[in-house]
């Protein structure tokens, strides 16, 4: 059983993380099974929540006791106002959000089945991200780390670059993106946590461990990890030159939506607090697993005490394998 005192304080609660990217109004429908063809499907539960990769990660930071700020864009419409209000009421500093005149706020419809899997239909108005403000290292002086997703690539690149100039962790959520987006952002990142689908798309292999090695060759300057859901997380250990693997906590998944985002938020807060990588991965994995037990997307993000209690009861062993 893990009892290390470091888990009693997973990150300095004073740490301030800036998240940059998606802010979406999601409509979630809970269904017995995902559709396989045309027709009508009747949900037995639903809710609406403002989330998105960066937004959900920011919520995870706040839930774990950190200070979370969000830079994203919404339209000058009622949906945009609802998104900002919802996120602000969730403990996220939204003062850096942009309201774009004439643009439509991002929305998505999501089906979640009884196994926790989901089908997502998102809509992003291209006009939301046409204008990009300059970002300097002075603009990031209040933050201990930045985390960007792939939904606003130009702003993400400027933020990562400014963080690098300021000597602060510049973390990239390497999810599936348009052609060339990851290749544009990765050189400016100090840490990249890829989703398994994005890693497979970039490397051509469905084996996460192999993908880690290939991605490390491609982006040698950065910490490289691949998360693979119930298969756990994999990363390149820069000290040993080996690939490390942490099995995922065993949970009954009710809703996997936003689990990766919760992982990224926990990861960013831990890195901002100087936590060693192996412990950072344990913290992030547990936070994501606990989220999966709750329907409602990012609403299921666990609090600091819940994560600490779960970590003390989790016999998590990191295994290693040959590196590149």
Helix (H) or strand (E) run with residue 203 in it: helix 196-203
3-12, 74-83, 102-111: least confidently modelled range:
3-12
Q: CA distances (Å), 100 to each of 49, 72, 75, 317, in order?
A: 21, 10, 5, 47
- 75 pLDDT band, cuts 50/70/90, is very high
pLDDT at 143 over 50: yes
Answer yes or no: is 293 within a domain.
Answer: yes
What's the predicted TM-score (pTM) here? Answer: 0.94
Answer yes or no: is 239 within a domain.
Answer: yes
| Residues linked to residue 318 through DSSP beta bridges, in sequence order | 246
Q: How many domains, in total, are found in the chain? A: 1
Answer yes or no: is 178 within a domain.
Answer: yes
Parent domain of 226: 16-321
Answer yes or no: is 2 within a domain.
Answer: no
Instruction: Give mean pLDDT, residues 215-231.
Output: 97
Rounded distance between C-alpha atoms, residue 222 and residue 174, angstroms = 12
End-to-end CA distance of the chain: 32
pLDDT at 323 over 60: no
Q: For residue 181, with 0-12 CB atoms within 10 Å meaning exposed, 13-18 middle and 19 or more buried, which class applies?
A: middle
- 316 pLDDT band, cuts 50/70/90, is confident
Answer yes or no: is 3 within a domain.
Answer: no
Answer yes or no: is 267 within a domain.
Answer: yes
pLDDT at 13 over 60: no
Query: How many CB atoms are closer than 10 A to CB 84?
Result: 21
Domain of residue 149, CATH code: 3.40.1190.20
Rounded distance between C-alpha atoms, residue 92 and residue 320, angstroms = 37
For the chain, give me the number of helices (H) and strands (E)?
A: 9, 16
* Residue corresponding to tokens 């940059």: 20
pLDDT for 4: 42
- 5 pLDDT band, cuts 50/70/90, is very low
From the CA atom positions of the chain, what is the Rg in Å?
A: 19
Tokens of 273: 């607090």
pLDDT at 188 over 90: yes
2-6, 177-181, 196-200: least confidently modelled range:
2-6
Residues 254-275 have pLDDT tens digits of 999 999 999 999 999 999 999 9
Orientation angle between helical segments 208-218 and 196-203, nearest 10 degrees: 60
Answer yes or no: is 218 within a domain.
Answer: yes
Answer yes or no: is 1 within a domain.
Answer: no
Rounded distance between C-alpha atoms, residue 194 and residue 28, angstroms = 25
177 three-state secondary structure: coil
Instruction: Give mean pLDDT, residues 135-154.
Output: 97
Q: What percent of the chain has pLDDT over 90?
A: 91
Residues 190-219 have pLDDT tens digits of 999 999 999 999 999 999 999 999 999 999
Instruction: Give mean pLDDT, residues 95-123.
Output: 95
pLDDT at 8 over 90: no
**Which distant-in-sequence residues (6+ apart) come within 8 Å of 185 by Cβ?**
148, 150, 153, 156, 157, 160, 172
Question: What value does the mean pLDDT of the chain take?
Answer: 94
């Amino acid at each position: 059983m893990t009892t290390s005192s470091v888990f009693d304080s997973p990150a300095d609660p004073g740490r301030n993380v800036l998240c940059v990217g998606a802010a979406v109004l999601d409509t979630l429908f809970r269904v017995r099974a995902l559709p396989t063809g045309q027709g009508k499907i009747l949900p037995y539960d639903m809710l609406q929540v403002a989330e998105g990769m960066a937004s959900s990660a920011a919520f995870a930071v706040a839930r774990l006791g950190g200070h979370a700020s969000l830079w994203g864009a919404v339209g000058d419409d009622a949906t945009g106002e609802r998104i900002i209000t919802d996120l602000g009421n969730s403990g996220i500093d939204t003062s850096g959000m942009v309201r774009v005149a004439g643009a439509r706020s991002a929305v998505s419809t999501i089906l979640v089945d009884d196994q926790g899997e989901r089908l997502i239909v998102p809509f992003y108005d291209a006009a939301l991200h046409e204008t990009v403000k300059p970002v300097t290292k002075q603009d990031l002086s209040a933050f201990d780390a930045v985390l960007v997703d792939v939904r606003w690539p130009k702003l993400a690149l400027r933020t990562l670059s400014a963080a690098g100039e300021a000597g602060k962790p510049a973390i990239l959520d390497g999810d599936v993106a348009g052609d060339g987006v990851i290749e544009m952002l990765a050189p400016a990142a100090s840490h990249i946590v890829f989703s398994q689908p994005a890693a497979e798309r970039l490397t051509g292999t469905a084996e996460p461990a192999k993908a880690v090695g290939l991605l490390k060759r491609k982006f040698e300057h950065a910490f490289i990890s691949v998360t693979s859901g119930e298969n756990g997380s994999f990363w390149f250990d820069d000290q040993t030159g080996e690939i490390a693997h942490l099995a995922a906590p065993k949970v009954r998944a009710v809703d996997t939506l936003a689990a990766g985002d919760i992982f990224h938020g926990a990861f960013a807060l831990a890195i901002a607090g100087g936590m060693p990588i192996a412990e950072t991965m344990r913290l992030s994995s547990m936070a994501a697993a606990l989220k999966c037990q709750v329907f409602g997307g990012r609403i299921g993000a666990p609090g600091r005490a819940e994560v600490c209690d779960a970590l003390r009861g989790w016999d998590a062993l990191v295994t290693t394998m040959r590196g590149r």
